């Protein structure tokens, strides 16, 4: 079960890295000073990436918990 814990930790770190990337994308869009519709379109893409990163992080945490319970 140790492998499941390490796999889950790696997934969680990938998800957290994705969240940091989403923050950087949003800050970059803000710095560019986009107008209303352009900013909305850009942030909708960032939200999609954000949800994917959260899902990956959640799956990783679930793997860690299952690995700890079974281990």
What tens digit of pLDDT does each residue of 5-27 get? 999 999 999 999 999 999 999 99
Residue-number span of the structural domain to which 56 is assigned: 2-70
pLDDT digits (tens, 9 = 90+) for 16-67: 999 999 999 999 999 998 888 999 999 999 999 999 999 999 999 999 999 9
Q: Which pLDDT score, from 0 to 100, does residue 35 have?
A: 84
Q: Which pLDDT score, from 0 to 100, does residue 20 have?
A: 97
Q: Which pLDDT score, from 0 to 100, does residue 6 have?
A: 97
Distance (Å, whole) CA 58 – CA 34: 32
Closest-CA residue to 48 (of 66, 25, 67, 64): 25
Closest-CA residue to 3 (of 51, 58, 70, 48): 70
How many domains does the chain divide into? Answer: 1
**Helical segments of 1-71, H only:** 2-32, 36-70
């Amino acid at each position: 079960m140790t492998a499941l814990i390490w796999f889950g930790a790696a997934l969680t770190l990938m998800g957290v890295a994705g969240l940091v990337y989403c923050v950087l994308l949003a800050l970059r869009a803000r710095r560019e000073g986009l107008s209303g519709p352009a900013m909305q379109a850009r942030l909708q893409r960032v939200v999609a990436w954000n949800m994917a990163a959260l899902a990956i992080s959640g799956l990783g945490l679930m793997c860690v918990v299952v690995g700890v319970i079974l281990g």
